[in-house]
Amino acid sequence: MRADLPPDLRPMLESGLAEIGLDPAHAERLLGYLALLVRWNGTYNLTAIRDPREMVVKHLLDSLAMHPFVDPVVAAGGALADLGTGAGLPGIPLAIVKPGLKVTLVESAGKKARFMRQAIRELGLPAARVAESRIEALDEPGAYTAITARALATIPLILELGGHLLAPDGVLLAMKGVYPADELAQLPEGWRLRDSHVLRVPGLDAERHLVVVERAR
């Protein structure tokens, strides 16, 4: 275990990974990311969560609960844009556990972009890149098989800001808490709900949903 993290984190993370269907061997690099986040957080205030145990549940496992839904992106050789990713969540954990996944981490805050570049270098994630940009200003129309966002904005606003990034048959994988019925009732014209999935996050006693939105045919 890394000197700057509590020794009980590894078994806690390994157990959680197994529970959501991931290889516990990923814990080593995920803890490397977490140690870096804890270190930078002391100076740069990247995330409000300070307790590493809470970070395992609310950052790592919460991000990774959606992992089966990025498998089609990997299978298609496509790319995922993580919008307003902050310190790289969920994009960096997903890049760690899905080595074939091409991820663009979109973040306008310079200190967060610098942290993510450092994390990509230290963790050896050649398929991940940082786009230091506002979402709506990212000039990569149609470049992505999927976009995702976690705790960023309402679904209509995510589509307004980042919908241009999606390929014609691309999807928004929106990570939500309670089922966002009100947001889905206000989908912009030209978009529709494809499906939704209840997610279970080990150690978290709260609702989580993944909502998949696509262009209306």
Domain borders along the chain are: 9-60, 68-215
3-state SS class at 176: strand
In eight-state DSSP terms, residue 26 is G
pLDDT at residue 108, rounded to an integer: 96
3-state SS class at 141: coil
The string of pLDDT tens digits covering residues 11-34 is 999 999 999 999 999 999 999 999
The string of pLDDT tens digits covering residues 54-108 is 999 999 999 999 999 999 999 999 999 999 999 999 999 999 999 999 999 999 9
pLDDT at residue 148, rounded to an integer: 98
Quote the crossing angle between the two packed helices 110-123 and 27-44, to the nearest 10°.
Answer: 150
In the structure, how many helices (H) and strands (E) does the chain have? 9, 7
Residues sharing a CB contact under 8 Å with residue 48, sequence separation 6 or more, in sequence order: none
CATH of domain 68-215: 3.40.50.150
Res. 155 pLDDT band, cuts 50 70 90: very high
Encoded amino acid at 62, one letter? D
Token pair in block for residue 198:
């209840």
Indicate if the pLDDT at residue 1 is higher than 50: no
Whether the model pTM is above 0.85: yes
